Structure 1
Amino acid sequence: MQTNRGSEWRKWDLHFHTPSSYDYQDKSVTNEQIITTLKTNGISVVAITDHHIIDITRIRALQALGAREGIAVLPGIEFLSESRGKEPVHFIGIFSENAPLDYIWTQLQGTTEVREILGLGKAPNEVYCPLSATIREIKKLGGIVTIHAGTKSNTIENITNSLPHGIAEKEAIASLVDIYELGKEEDAVGYRKVVMPILQKKIGKTIPLIICSDNHNANKYKIKQNLWLKAQPSFEGLKQILYEPEQRVKIQFEKPDFKEDRLVIDQVQFVGCGNRFTPFTIKLNENLNVIIGGKSSGKSILLYNIAKTLLADKDFFVREKIENKYNFGGEHPDYNFQITTKGGFSQYLNRDISDNSIIPEIKYIPQNYLVKLAEPDENRKGADLNTIVRDLIKEDQESGNKYRDFVNKAKTNDRKREIIIDAYFDIKSKIGDLEGQLKTKPNKEILEKNIESNLQKLEEINKSIGLTNDQIDEYNKLQESARAAKADTVKINSDFKKILEFNSEVAEILENLEAKKNLVDTSLEHEGIRKIFNSGYSFIEHSIKELAEFKSLFEFVKDKDGGSVFTKKSDLSALVANGKEALSAAEEKLIPFQKGDELKKQNEILNQSIANDKAALSEIEQLYKEISENKKALLAEKNKIFSLFLDNYKEYLSIIEQLKLRTVDLEKDGLKITGHVKFNFPLLRKSILDMSDGRTASYTRFRLFDFEREGTADFEITQLVEDIRSVFDSLIEKRDYVLNRKAVEVNAVKALFTDHFFDFWEIEYKNDKLGTMSTGKASFVILMLIIGLSKSKAPILIDQPEDNLDNRSISSDLVEYLRNKKLERQIILVTHNPNIVVNADAENIIVANQKGQGEVESNSPYQFDYTNGALEDSLPMDVTEQDLLKSMGIREHIAEIVEGGKEAFKKREEKYGFNESLPYKALMQKILLSKDDIEHFELENYS
């Protein structure tokens, strides 16, 4: 049973000497001190590379000591090439930890034409070897060759300085070398920028760059820089950097691919299910975990349980109709599933509903989910996809806050629009009432002539009773004063009623504002902000108190005589009292002028008629004034409605511009997302047509209701506003748009101005728009969107993303995408595709098996069983082992289970030229050297 978590980043030192080297600085250093030094410095793997010797006894002793401390020891040897200028080139052979060292050492001494060279200022015990022949011998014996590189004089670069065709030979030697060992970190920049592209072009090979200690005294261990390899601590693990020379090797101080502990699943475990599932923990890698297995082997069950335990959106399972897809609780009441993060937090599948997920941001992409989203049925799936893209764009906190602000503004505009439309129809209704009242009033000219006639009659009466002209003038003034006092009383009564109605409306508005203000107050978290907020909006409470005080001025009670008196003395009560007094005083002053009952009666009739006519005239003028002012207000409200409609459109433009930066990073992957403001014409059309009279079919006259216009159709905002205005005018002003009997105008207008805008995100991948892509390609693009737009670094769970993708898309697009994204966040993926397993360089492979489902039987006690490890975990099949998962290594399981697995491994090795080198003559010809040039170097050993 595998207990590791696959290929992990560890510190390696692949150039380390012991006292067995002739030039070791302190021969008293013990093997124990060496292991202690390595452990203290966090080294997981060391290669012993003594000069010109493989000290078998020491290496085996170090391996035994290292095993106790978790340090792997690889045997090796350092060589010096024959003289090539200033200094010989240094190179190293590294062998498997289980290699037959006796045989290897015998072969190296007997078959590599080793010769001692004395003099030239060199130590007499230095041994120089022919470079090409020795490299060939190392590889023949199953070893890996590292060579000094960089700016030092003992590196492969020195070949250039010593031969007429040094560059060509250097490239030929590079084709045989596996690893470049740099002398200093700074050299890496030039090698990556210049040397590697040239070698890739000339010999089709990228060589890993490493840096090592070259330590000659364990008591003075000093590393130039940390060398991190992502591999199992073994020779097979080391070989992986040859296939992944850029992603599996890092020269840097800190551990690569940093991920927060809380966002990494460390291990998972089935609990309380008898022998249904293996009870052992399944370790996970921080990067790419691939789950493989035969049909019905439990691959998806494992992934589903991880998702079901952690996914915060439980409705997702209901929406996808997989809520009870793998439910074993009926058979095993104690069935559970446990997840533990790298941060040490654990969570169970069956837990209290109030317990939040320990990784709520996790993404789960079940089988066929991508295909369903990629279906071409836009009306059913297009909106879903647009929603997903939008949600991903606004997933990070900053963008989410911006979008929430936008939504709040849009909702505020919606409320404003409703209020404005209601106000519009209130004003429109009031205009109708005023115009109705105006129709009940007498003709203005008739009233004016009647007043003039009655005034003449009064004058004649006054003359008939013997009043002088001065008395008549005084009498007329008194009459006018009495009439004015009566008119004032009428105005006061009318205004009194209007103010009472307005007071009630304002009181309701203020009470609603106070309630909303209190809700905001309770939502504020910062005490300082709360104080500022409450101070700024204290006017609401003050206004409520002031309004209550003001309303009390209009309250009155009955007095003992049955009359009405105000409860409070104020300017209002004084104004009413003064009006009554003025009327009484004017009527009292008229008494002396009214002689005779008959004349008095005529006077009263005429004066009353004049007063009534003048009051009627005043009411008519007031009605005309109010109608005029209300029509101005109506136009203003209409303009507000259209202005607010445009404001909403501008809000959509603004949020698209604000979120644009979230999509820029995806362009490096060939993915382009462009935001557009769209208008849902079908939805508007339906809402209006549902209220329209079908027989008259007024809607057929308007472009706005064109049945060919879809929700994603392009439009010009100015034209859209004009189209809406024409419908509005037809509904309200011309009144030639016929609604059905149940519909009312106000609802039709509200429907007309409903915010049907939406932010639409157009997706383009490598110049191909999503709507025109094949289902398979669209599925991959949607996967890119889900992963690429998600700013969260939480794990991603994917079940068979290769479904419906062609092999080319898998081997190029999907594999490369996974290789890049696993560096940013943990990925757990179910697959049956060898390219994803091998070429995406999965760090951890989980092999699933269900007993009785495969061709080979297993005696494992568990129905569903799992094991895991790295690509480099290789163990030939043991035919005596009856437990299938234990019978072979991870590499062999991949080759056995995944169709094309063997070929994938073979192509991976061929791609990087491992185990196969071009013959030297063929290589020299490839880099354009003549036959004479080849013979000049006397390199017959290469051919």
Structure 2
Amino acid sequence: MTEFHTKAQFWKCALQVNPVDYISYRGADHGMSQEQYNQKLVEVALENNIKVIGLADHGNVDGVDAIRTVMNQQGILVFPGFEIASTEKAHFVCLFPESTTIDQLNRYLGALGLTNPANGVWPSNLSGNDLLQKVEELGGVIYASHCTDDSGVLRQRLVHVWQNPLLKAAQIPGTLDDLKNGEGNAYRRILLNSDPAYRRDLPVGIINAKDVAEPDDLANPKASCLIKMTKPCFASFKLAFQDPQSRVRLNSDVSEKYYSRIERLKITGGYLDGVEIEFSEHLNAVIGGRGTGKSTLLECIRYALGLRPIGKNAQKQHDEIIKENLGNSRARVELVIRSSKMNGKRFIVARRYGESTNVSDEIGSPSTFTPADLLPEIEIYGQNEIYEIAQDKSSQRQLLSRFLESGQQDSEASIHQALQKLAENRQKLIEAQGRVAAIEDEVARLPKLEEQVGQFKSLGLEDKLKVVPLLETEKRLLKRVQAEEGPNLNEAFQTVRDSLPDTTFLSESSLEKLPHAERLRQMKTALDSLRVEAEILLNLWQSKYTTAKEGIDKLAQELTADILREEAVLEETFKGLPSSEGKTGKQIGLEFQALMKEIERIRPKKILIENHKKLTSELQKQRKSILDELSATRANRSAQFARALKRLNKRLAGKLRLEVKAESDKRPIIDFLLGCRMDGVGEARLSWVKDADDFSPVKLAEMIRGGADALRNAKWGLTPTVADALVRLAPDQVLQLEELELPDLINIELNTAHEGQENFRPLDKLSTGQQCTAILHLLLLQNLDPLMMDQPEDNLDNAFIADRIVAELRSAKIARQFIFATHNANIPVFGDAEWIGVFEAADGQAQMPVEAQGAIDVPEVRDKAAVILEGGRAAFNQRKAKYGF
């Protein structure tokens, strides 16, 4: 059965392995027969996950077949070849396709001018450049072995050979860092292509390929390197050296990267029925003609994750795509996710149309996590969504917020809490001030009521009715005893009873498997004992309370009876009062009684005014404290944000320039004041808000409380009409003004120069393509969760894609997963996508078989990509001719 590989990955390759007799060339002996040697080679190769062997004895190929046979039986690919010296005595290794026979190899040795086959170390009669040309003609790959040693092209300063584009790779003895000092640093600069005298158009591939003279040498990390291929084969191996920066690595270059990725996708039903994909953890590109399913695929992933697009148009388009492609057949999307947030654990996320998303662990057990828990910072952008961000300041601020440090996020949380406290404080303050005003209105009636009492006294009734106010005082005190003091105390004790310890949470079934269960059992015993003792005390108190209440109720009844008797006597007294001004004595008595009752009701409220004023004062102090704390937190947040932007600017040097103006977006103030509907004040009369520098919502509220003169003297340019209108704002509105949060103003500038002198221009002065390019620079910054985009090239400058975006992708994809749907060849080809999926449509159904998945080194994928992205070979060659390339 054919094994399909659908994504490029790094395969470990040992490219200078020698046969059994090679060690005798060094004057040593390992004591193994050929069969023993070859079998040990296989064992060490398998133990070290080596997938490709390059055979490179000095001018000798006799041992090729024996090694190739045992290696192939274990699935290890062998590129046969040999090592050869040029006339300059520089050493090279020549490797050829896996199917090359020994007879062919011997002919190649002759063609390469090795005139004395019996002496493999004898130099060829060809120069280094001639060897490079000849090996190319023979269909092989040649690299400079031991390039920094005595027999190396760099040690011999063969600049003309080094700069020959047919030289694909150079072997170094260790890491590049090993060459940092002394003479080695000069080699290091050459290898990094930064020495002008040795500069190449295409940098050389840097490999480790230490001579393997004994099988155990294969275990040395310096004996192998990593070559990226979809499926190991010589064609893919050779192609890798066309892009060595992406496809050739030393073992020492690879460090473990911890980031999230969508590993697999499967769709059942709908337009994409049967599509199964194993994504690369690096760069993935979905290509295909229009209507073949590229956008649908990305929107299906978004749907499965329960995410919504940013803009209204994008949301509408998303809903239409999902309904059309999943809805009719109730299709299902399944993803396998590896989550960095969950320490690299895998989860299965599945969603069927019309249902909620289900999350399970990798063995299928239901999980309580949501997709947002697993991929909290995943970013998915459909067509034109980047453009929407470029037009919206709040979206830009939201985008930048993901670069904030935890301390800055803490500041945001503190600010949110402070604003909530201010809102709660405002409600209490307005209520307290309202109560004070209402009580003051009532207390203000006392002088008039007392003056009326004086009129009654003038009738000579004071002595006869002096008991009236005393009886009203007794009624008020009796009401407090019965309705407040006793019941309040009883309610407090009931609260204590409701709060007694409940130890059911420490049941034996909960404790039995715990390592320190005995400690918890002892705690349960102590709590149970406390509850019992507390219940005894509470029952004792309840008995005392019941007894006391019965006594109080009896006294209350007696007092009520006393008051009623006194009032009955008053009734008789009222009848004996002289009439006056047409009122009978009884009417006069009742009026006096009602008057004294009202006075007794209002008089205690004098004390309440003071209490409420103290409460109001305390609330105002609390508010000032919250505002002071809020001001400090905002200042800290602004400083942290500025520092974060400074670091961002370093990472974006030469591409973007970011500037923040703290709390400078004053639109919320204008919108708030317009919402207050002040007479004669429209938006034009509020233009001073934008222009004022020494200004904040808190300061404006302070000036409003200071009156119209304070506002006019603030030098903000207010007209008298506006100043008068502001001081008429309700107290609640002035307090709300203090609670307004002003966003920062973010200024984003893009370097529009492709090369040479930098030319930074602000976002609002750029073309649509340039604006989207600026936003994409931010999206490509480090993030542990995937970035998915649908046809980013639609709104991007094509030159910027090639010069900037692709370069960033090649760098960023090492530590982040990207999934792009695209028509632009630059992204999958020059970005060197590890996985390219080619969509085709047939009979109203999207198709992407495994044969149409892989990297550019897969012939079928390469040919389909050329047709879709370039218009085919003929169109590509025609453009090439017209451009004169």
Scaled by the length of structure 1, the TM-score of the pair is: 0.66
Q: Separation in 1 of the partners of 2:61 and 2:824?
A: 43
Letter in 2 for 1:353: S
Deviations 1:593-615 (A, max 9, x none): xxxxxxxxxxxxxxxxxxxxxxx
Deviation at 1:207, TM superposition (A): 1.9
The correspondence of residues 616-635 of structure 1 with structure 2, limited to 5 A, is: none
- Please say if 1:804 is aligned against 2:795: yes
1:820 equivalent in structure 2: 811
Helix, strand or coil for the counterpart of 1:349? strand
Aligned to 1:74: 79
Match of residue 795 from structure 1: 786
Equivalent in 56, 59, 76 of residue 49 of structure 1: 56
Where does 1:161-240 land on structure 2 (aligned, <5 Å)?
A: 166=157, 169=159, 172=162, 177-185=167-175, 187-189=178-180, 190=184, 193-197=188-192, 201-202=196-197, 203-205=199-201, 206-218=203-215, 221-225=218-222, 227-232=225-230, 233-240=232-239
2:366 counterpart residue number: none
1:353 to 341, 356, 361: 356
Distance in 2 (alpha carbons) for counterparts of 1:157 and 1:505: 99
State the shift of 1:416 in Å: 2.2
Moved more, 359-368 or 3-12: 359-368
Matched to 2:319, the amino acid is: E
Aligned pair partner of 1:422 in 428, 431, 443: 431
1:522 maps to what in 2? none
1:244 paired residue number: 243
Partner residue, 1:386:
397
Determine helix, strand or coil for the equivalent of 2:687.
coil
1:183 counterpart letter in structure 2 = P
1:89 to 1:6, Cα distance in 2 relative to 1, 3 A? same
Match of 1:606 in 2: none
Of the two, which has the highest radius of gyration? 1
Is it true that 1:727 corresponds to 2:704 in the alignment?
A: yes
The residue identity in structure 1 corresponding to 2:236 is G
Higher mean displacement: 297-306 or 41-50: 297-306
CA separation in 2, counterparts of 1:782 and 1:405?
A: 29
SS at match of 2:16: strand
Higher mean Cα deviation, 729-738 or 809-818?
Answer: 729-738
Letter in 2 for 1:40: E
Query: Paired residues, what number?
Result: 757
Contact 2:311 2:388 in 1 (8 A): no
Match of 1:136, SS? helix
Aligned to 2:576: none
Q: Distance in 2 between matches of 1:410 and 1:510?
A: 33
Residue pair 1:399, 1:659 contacting (<8 A) in 2 also: yes
The 1:505–1:723 alpha-carbon spacing in structure 2 relative to 1, beyond 3 Å, is farther
Which residue of the partner structure matches residue 92 of structure 2? 91
CA separation of 1:795/1:68 partners in 2, compared to 1, >3 Å: closer, same or farther?
farther
Matched, 1:338 2:334: yes
Judged with a 3 Å threshold, the aligned counterparts in structure 2 of structure 1 residues 107 and 745 are, in CA distance, closer, same or farther, namely: closer
Q: In structure 1, which of residues 887, 898, 906 is the aligned counterpart of residue 869 of structure 2? A: 898
Shift of 1:799: 0.8
Q: What residue in structure 2 maps to residue 782 of structure 1?
A: 775
Cα deviations across residues 97-125 of structure 1 (Å, max 9, x unaligned)? 35577456424414536469xxxxxx965
Write the deviation string for residues 649-705 of structure 1: whole angstroms up to 9, x where unpaired: 4333333444566555533123455555437654444444444463xx3x58xxx99
With over 3 angstroms needed to count, the CA separation of the structure-2 counterparts of 1:672 and 1:431, relative to structure 1, is farther
Partners of 2:684 and 2:560 in 1: CA distance? 60
1:680-759 pair list within 5 angstroms: 681-692=666-677, 694=679, 697=680, 699=681, 706-708=685-687, 713=690, 716=693, 720-730=697-707, 745-759=730-744
CA shift at 1:42, angstroms? 0.8
The residue correspondences of 1:91-130 to structure 2 (distance < 5 A) are 91-98=92-99, 102-103=103-104, 105-110=106-111, 112=113, 114=115, 126-129=121-124, 130=127
Q: Distance in 2 between matches of 1:501 and 1:655?
A: 52
Alignment-derived partner of residue 913 in structure 1: none
Which whole-Å CA distance do the structure 1 matches of 2:762 and 2:130 have between them? 56
Alpha-carbon offset, residue 847 of structure 1: 0.9
User: CA RMSD of the aligned region, Å?
Assistant: 5.8
Whichever residue aligns with residue 13 of structure 1, its letter is: A
CA distance in 1, matches of 2:848, 2:163: 51
Match of 1:28 in 2: 33
Deviation at 1:59, TM superposition (A): 3.6
Structure 1 residue 368 displacement after superposition: 1.6
Could you tell me how far apart the structure 2 residues matched to 1:231 and 1:674 are? 43
Aligned to 2:570: none
In structure 1, how many angstroms separate the alpha carbons of the residues matched to 2:207 and 2:791? 36
Give the corresponding residue for 2:20: 19
1:8-56 CA-partner distances (Å, limit 9, x unpaired)? 022111111113647385572234543343222210111111111234x
Summarize the alignment of residues 545-556 of structure 1 with structure 2, pairs less than 5 Å apart: none
Deviations 1:768-806 (A, max 9, x none): 4334433222223333334426x4x23222111111111
The residue matched to 1:238 in structure 2 has which SS? helix
Please give the alpha-carbon distance, in whole angstroms, between the structure 1 residues aligned to 2:437 and 2:302: 58
Q: Amino acid of the residue matched to residue 251 of structure 2?
A: Q
Shift in CA distance, 344/724, structure 1 to aligned 2, threshold 3 Å: closer
- The 1:197–1:293 alpha-carbon spacing in structure 2 relative to 1, beyond 3 Å, is same
Residue 292 of structure 1 contacts residue 299 of structure 1 at CA under 8 Å; is this kept in 2? yes
Distance 1:788 1:504 in 2: 68
Output the CA distance in 2 between the equivalents of 1:816 and 1:785: 14
Q: Which of the residues 258, 266, 269 maps onto 1:269?
A: 266
Quote how far apart the aligned CAs of 1:278 are.
6.3
Note the C-alpha offset of 1:646. Answer: 4.7
Q: 1:669 aligns with which of 642, 648, 652?
A: 652
Alignment-derived partner of residue 389 in structure 2: 373
**Partner residue, 2:293:** 298
CA contact (8 A) 2:264 2:337 kept: yes
Instruction: Give SS of 2:34's match.
Output: coil
Q: Show the counterpart of 1:285.
A: 280
The residue number in structure 2 matching 1:873 is 857
Distance 2:52 2:444 in 1: 97
Rounded to whole Å, the distance in 2 between the matches of 1:492 and 1:778 is: 81
**Mind listing any 5+ residue stretches in structure 1 that lack a counterpart?**
117-122, 160-165, 376-380, 455-478, 519-526, 535-540, 567-615, 854-860, 876-888, 911-915, 917-943
Q: What's the CA shift string for 1:810-853, capped at 9, x where partnerless?
A: 11222122222211122111111111121111111111111279
Distance in 2 of aligned mates of 1:890 and 1:749: 67
Mapped partners of 1:504, 1:12: distance in 2: 90
Given that residues 806 and 827 in structure 2 are in contact (C-alpha distance below 8 angstroms), is that contact kept between their aligned partners in structure 1? yes
**Counterpart contact for 1:112–1:137, Cα < 8 Å:** no
8 A Cα contact 1:11 1:229, kept in partner: yes
Give the TM-score normalised by structure 2.
Answer: 0.70
AA in 2 matched with 1:784: H
Closer/same/farther in 2, CA of residues 243 and 145 from structure 1, 3 Å limit:
same
| Partner residue in 2 for 1:465 | none
Distance in 2 (alpha carbons) for counterparts of 1:140 and 1:113 = 17
CA distance in 1, matches of 2:561, 2:309: 67
Which residue does the alignment assign to 1:6?
7
